[in-house]
């Protein structure tokens, strides 16, 4: 293991990495730090290429100690699929819906639960808008842990039922995800469970950063011009930005970075508002509402890290309307046979908006993140009816 310590993302204060932690004393996320010089001496591109594909081939840049088996459900490398008809051959989707439990939440929770098990944690909990809770419950079941999940009222029913199917204790609450998170935090403080909420422990981000590690290798160690990422808590965006720095430090890539675009829905856009006003953190968004439930996060604890990454990259934060999200999902399915989740529809809609605003150019290599399998979400019924006794083939 090449981990040296944990570091407060706001103050730089150092913490020991050999025991479980939640937030720093400053109430901010902790980041895992590595001896990257040692990693550089131990890992080559050739050695990496010889390993089986999947999340755990990156062990030198992950925090799980040597010899400790991960809690795994077979996390694959997710493909890059061009949306050729929708946007041309350089518009690529990284399809995270291929992961266990059908979403990119599997990456972060596989890592967080693996570390929690390593530290002897027996009960884990989190608030969720859907997919994260399902992943927590699945990996918790795999690890032999008890899981508790609290969901806002608007959480899709299929996510609630999926989470319960994995044996978790599930509650639906009359509030937003940050309000559900307050209950989880209070229970953790009372010693009832360990809090696995977004960025409130150090290891989900390490699992999510594998998206950036994979992406770099898939593109021949040349990062794309731009990344559009559906942003609620923003763990993956922050994680990828961290991954790119680590890859440069070990000599796998150069200094080029993609412009990072944080995508939110117009009905819940605290990061967009903060970006546009020049703020370093985001005020809570009241009365949040969007069909893209995964990005319905009124207040993200890592807001300052998201804003820092998009500004350092020369990117932006973009909000899209509900109608644009629905249209993007419909277009990609009809034109390219690719069923985006609503959050994936949001990033396609944001790319279209960025083209209009000349934030990206036609022909630039752009990666959109589809964070979940589109089949997990309700779809409009556009089917017709046939009376088989009266079928007129001329009308079909």
Question: Long-range contacts for 193-196 (Cβ within 8 Å, ≥24 apart)?
Answer: 193/123, 193/124, 193/125, 193/146, 193/148, 194/20, 194/22, 194/116, 194/121, 194/123, 194/124, 194/125, 195/22, 195/125, 195/126, 196/109, 196/112, 196/113, 196/116, 196/124, 196/125, 196/126, 196/136
Instruction: Note whether residue 125 is domain-resident.
Output: no
**Residue spans of the chain under pLDDT 50:** none
Instruction: Note whether residue 133 is domain-resident.
Output: no
pLDDT at 87: 96
Instruction: Note whether residue 178 is domain-resident.
Output: no
Query: DSSP assignment, residue 42?
Result: H
pLDDT at 154: 87
Instruction: Note whether residue 276 is domain-resident.
Output: yes
- Phi-psi sector, 130: left (phi>0), alpha (psi -120 to 50), beta: left
Question: Hunting for tokens 């929708």 — which residue is that?
Answer: 86
Take residue 301 and report the two structure tokens written for it.
């604890």
Rg (CA), the chain: 21
Q: How many domains does the chain have?
A: 1
Q: Is 126 helix (H, G, I), strand (E, B) or coil?
A: strand
pLDDT at 1: 81
Tens digit of pLDDT for each residue in 116-166?
999 999 999 999 988 999 999 999 999 999 999 999 998 989 999 999 999
Q: At what angle do helices 131-143 and 105-118 cross, to 10 degrees?
A: 40
How far from chain centre, in Å, is Cα 382? 31
Cα 348 from Cα 333, distance rounded (Å): 12
CATH number at residue 272: 3.40.50.1100
Instruction: Note whether residue 337 is domain-resident.
Output: yes
All residues at 6 or more sequence positions from 49 whose CB lies less than 8 Å from its CB, including other chains: none
Cα 170 from Cα 148, distance rounded (Å): 6
Instruction: Note whether residue 69 is domain-resident.
Output: no
Tens digit of pLDDT for each residue in 275-327?
999 999 999 999 999 999 999 999 999 999 999 999 999 999 999 999 999 99
Strands 259-265 and 316-320: parallel
CA atoms within 13 A on the CB side of 51: 17
Take residue 374 and report the two structure tokens written for it.
């589109």
Q: For the chain, where are the E strands, in sequence order?
A: 3-8, 14-15, 30-34, 80-82, 91-95, 123-127, 146-152, 169-173, 194-195, 226-230, 259-265, 316-320, 366-370
Per the structure, the complete domain to which residue 242 belongs is given by: 80-102+206-376
Instruction: Note whether residue 113 is domain-resident.
Output: no
Instruction: Note whether residue 308 is domain-resident.
Output: yes
pLDDT at 378: 87
Partners of 91 in the β-ladder: 366
């Amino acid at each position: 293991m090449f981990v040296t310590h944990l570091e407060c993302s706001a103050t730089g204060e150092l913490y020991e990495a050999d025991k479980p932690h939640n937030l720093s004393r400053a109430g901010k996320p902790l980041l895992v730090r590595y001896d990257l010089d040692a990693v550089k001496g131990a890992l080559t591109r050739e050695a990496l290429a010889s390993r089986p594909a999947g999340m755990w081939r990156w062990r030198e840049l992950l925090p799980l100690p040597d010899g400790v088996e991960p809690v795994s459900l077979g996390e694959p490398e997710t493909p890059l699929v061009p949306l050729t008809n929708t946007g041309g051959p350089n518009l690529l989707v990284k399809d995270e819906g291929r992961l266990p439990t059908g979403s990119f939440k599997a990456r972060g929770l596989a890592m967080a639960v693996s570390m929690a098990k390593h530290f002897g944690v027996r009960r884990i909990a989190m608030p969720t808008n859907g997919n994260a809770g399902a992943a927590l419950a699945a990996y918790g079941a795999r690890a032999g842990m008890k899981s508790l999940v609290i969901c806002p009222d608007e959480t899709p029913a299929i996510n609630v039922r999926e989470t319960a199917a994995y044996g978790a204790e599930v509650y639906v609450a009359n509030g937003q995800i940050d309000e559900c998170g307050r209950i989880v935090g209070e229970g953790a403080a009372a010693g009832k469970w360990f809090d696995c909420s977004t960025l409130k422990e150090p290891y989900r981000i390490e699992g999510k950063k594998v998206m950036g590690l994979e992406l770099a290798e898939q593109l021949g160690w040349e990062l794309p011009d731009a990344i559009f990422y559906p942003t609620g808590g923003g763990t993956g965006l922050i994680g990828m930005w961290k991954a790119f720095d680590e890859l440069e430090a070990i000599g796998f890539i150069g200094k080029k970075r993609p412009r990072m675009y944080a995508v939110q829905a117009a009905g819940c856009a605290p990061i967009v508002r903060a970006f546009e006003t020049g703020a370093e953190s985001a005020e809570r968004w009241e009365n949040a509402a969007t069909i893209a439930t995964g990005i319905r996060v009124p207040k993200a604890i890592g807001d300052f890290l998201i804003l820092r990454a998009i500004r350092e990259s020369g990117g932006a934060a973009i909000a899209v309307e509900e109608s644009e999200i629905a249209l993007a999902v419909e277009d990609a399915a009809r034109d390219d046979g690719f069923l985006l989740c609503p959050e994936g529809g949001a990033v396609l809609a944001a790319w279209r908006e960025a083209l209009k605003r000349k934030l990206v150019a036609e022909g630039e290599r752009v990666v959109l993140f589809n964070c979940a399998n589109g089949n997990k979400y309700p779809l409009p019924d556009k089917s017709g009816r046939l009376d088989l006794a009266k079928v007129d083939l001329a009308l079909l």
